[in-house]
Structure formats: C-alpha cells, structure tokens
Amino acid sequence: MAAEDGLRVGLIGYSFMGQAHSQAWRNVASFFDVPLQPEMAVLCGRSEDKARRAAEQLGWREVETDYRRLIERDDVDLIDVCTPGASHAEIAIAALEAGKHVLCEKPLANTVDEAEAMAAAAEKAAASGVRAMVGFNYRRVPAIAHARRLIADGRLGDVRHVRAVYLQDFLVDPDVPLMWRLDKEQAGSGALGDIGAHIIDLVQHLLDDQIGQVSALLETFVTERPIQGDGSGLSGSAAADEGTGEVTVDDASLFLARLASGAVGTFEATRMATGRKNALRFEVNGSDGSLAFDLERLNELAFYDARQDGPEQGFRRILVTEAQHPWVEAWWPPGHVLGWEHTFVHEVRDLLHALAAGEQPTPSFGDGLGVQRVLGAVEASAADGRWHDVAP
C-alpha cells in the first residue's frame, strides 16, 4: 500500500488524455494543499520507445508495456486509465480486483453491460476501501460548479427546460484519416459517446436530476475515410483494407429528453460543426431565472434574474475568477483567467482528498453507468425511431 502521505500512480496511455492527466498529477501539489502527495511512478504504453519518450517528457519515473504487469506491481496504488473505451472495462476491473484505486476516463465503457460490470466491481472494491472515479472533468470548471450552486440554491426557481450542445469541427474535412475514434469496436460510438457523454453528465449533475426518456437521431455524414499508415488501432477489415475504411460511428447525435423532475431538454453533439473548435454550451431556464455557459469562454457565466424589476432585467456576466468561487483560491488574482487544463488539476485534487478521507470520489462508476444507460437509450431510439426509457 501507499506510504501514509503518498499515492503512487500508474498511468496507462500517453496521448491526448494521458498528457492532460500527467500535467494534473505533476502540478496539483504545487497549487493545492493535498493530503496525499502524488508520485508519478509508472507510465504504461504498448510501444516501449514511445512510452519512454513520453515518460521523459511528461515526468514519469518508469515505463511498462503491459498493463497486467503494471497492475501486479506493489509500488503502484492507483491506476489511471486513459485508453480507448474498448479496454476500459478489462483494465479497470482487473485493477480494482487487485486492490488498486482507479481513475478512468469517460465515457466509462463502450456498452451498458461493460459499465454495469465496472460499477459492480467498484461497489465490491469499495467494501475494502478501494475507490473508483470516472473522469468527467467539466464538472470541475469553476463557472459550471458555480452554476450548480445557483441552481441548488433555488435562484432559477423551478427548472423547466435545458438545452445542451457540444460542437467541434475536427472531422469536417473528409480527408481526415480513419482513427480509433471512428471505429465502433474501439470507441463504442462517435460524437455521442466522445463529447455527448459530457453534456449528458453535466445536465444531470447541474440539475441533480436524471434523464428518464429520450427520442434520438444519429447521423454519419462521411462514411469512408483514408487509412493512414498500417491502420494501427483499427479493428476488423478496416485495418486490413488499402485506401479507405468504413466509418462505423456517428458524426452527429441529436435527442430530446424528459427528465425525472418533469423538465425537458434538447441535446446535440457533433464533430462536424464547421468553425466550432470546442463549443460546449448549455442554457438552463427556470421559473425565476436562467443560466447560460460556453466552454470557449469558460471563466464566464451568464445569469438572468427574473425577480429583479423590469428596468434592471437582463442577462448579466459573472466573471468566475474570485477566491470565493470553487477551486479558484489556489490559483491567480481575480480576473487572471483559468484554462481547460485546470479542470484536470481540480479533478485530481478532489480525488486525493476523497482517498485520504476514505470517501467515495465523484463522479463514481455508478454515475458513469447512469450516463452509459442514456447513451444506450439514445442508440436504441435512433435505431427504431421511438421514445426509449432510461433505466434508473
């Protein structure tokens, strides 16, 4: 087990998310007073040469090329899973059964069955003090946390409607090569799971509510893309073909939702919105006010208070950079804005505090399962054109 005041971390995956998680582990203790000092012990990747270069760049002490050997090590206390979704269940369950804490990137899994198995393994491990957390990092945007606080305090009154979109454009060009994110066996789904999972989790988190029914549409606009190199990371015939391979996931996801509270919602996720780089947006409308947020201006929150007199009404801008705002106290003076990468530092900070206190970190694997059930209902609805219930 870990030293009393330390946590030895093993990270699996060193690309985009692995880099983001690495900077969080590296920086969290420099800004926050954390009860456990993270040790960047081992980086795991299939290519030893690439893993060693990444470890040197990112600050990891040692390298493994097999996640099984990583999990078997006595000098690792937590496994951080930053791999494609197809391997989440296998790795996370093995780690939990070996007595390792787990941080797993979102979405939790590729299927509801996998997510249920992961949540069951996490619940069983928790009885022995082993904890698991899923990485929905946008919960840790200070403006989003402040929005949740305003909603919980009743500042919007009865919430009636929410609209949430996540717009990107990195797949607009049809010559973008086929990659694992476009392969259903590796990714589970396309825009739906990759970015749609974020807005599903955020809405349920913001409102402390659950999506109960969905009516959905999934669309793939570019059905074939060029294969680059040896097709590494692709499954089945796509990796063996020459020239082009089939895109087996959605480019865009749209659905209507009814929430348990009676509120209604609209959700849109696409990686084909020309000109939109990382535009996660939501608006929540209540009987007494509204909130609006755009991730591309992540230090700002728009708030409309319908209780004010007519001449004073209007959306007002809240700059969420004061020390009283969530997590901001550890950073810079007011107005010195934070960025996307800070959300991962906040995530790791909260995880360290939960582990030290012997508490369940959030979001839990159970929360991740709840999102996975919505994803599954959306896919089922898109397939048959009907409303589908989401299992509670």
pLDDT digits (tens, 9 = 90+) for 126-181: 999 999 999 999 999 999 999 999 999 999 999 999 999 999 999 999 999 999 99
The percentage of residues in the chain with a pLDDT greater than 90, rounded to a whole number, is 93
**Span 210-225, mean pLDDT?**
98
Question: What is the C-alpha separation between 52 and 44, in angstroms, rounded?
Answer: 9
pLDDT score for 313? 87
> Which of 64, 67, 62 is CA-nearest to residue 92?
67
Question: What is the full DSSP assignment across 371-388?
Answer: HHHHHHHHHHHHHHSS-E
8-state DSSP, 131: -
Identity of the amino acid at 69: R
**Residue predicted with more confidence, 199 or 313:** 199
Strand partners, 218: 253
Query: 235 pLDDT band (50/70/90 cuts)?
Result: low
> Does domain 140-361+371-384 match CATH 3.30.360.10?
yes
Pairing of strands 289-294, 6-12: unpaired
Domain boundaries, the chain: 6-138, 140-361+371-384
**pTM greater than the 0.85 cutoff:** yes
Average pLDDT of the segment spanning 55-62: 98
pLDDT (tens digit, 9 = 90+) per residue, 304-325?
999 988 787 899 999 999 999 9
CATH class of residue range 6-138: alpha beta
2 has a pLDDT exceeding 50: no
Amino acid at 259: L
Q: How many CB atoms lie within 10 A of CB 220?
A: 16
In this prediction, residue 98 carries a pLDDT of 98
pLDDT band at 239; cut points 50, 70, 90: very low
Q: Is the per-residue pLDDT at 234 higher than 80?
A: no
Residue with tokens 């690495």: 22
Q: What is the pLDDT of residue 1?
A: 41
pLDDT of residue 260: 98
Do the domains 140-361+371-384 and 6-138 match in fold?
A: no
Report the pLDDT value the prediction gives residue 103, as an integer from 0 to 100. 99
- Positive or negative: CA dihedral 372, 377, 378, 383: positive
Measured in residues, the chain has a length of 392
Q: Please tell me the predicted confidence (pLDDT) of residue 311.
A: 81
Q: Are 303 and 148 in contact (CB under 8 A)?
A: no
Burial class (CB in 10 A: 0-12, 13-18, 19+), 340: middle
- pLDDT for the residue 283: 98
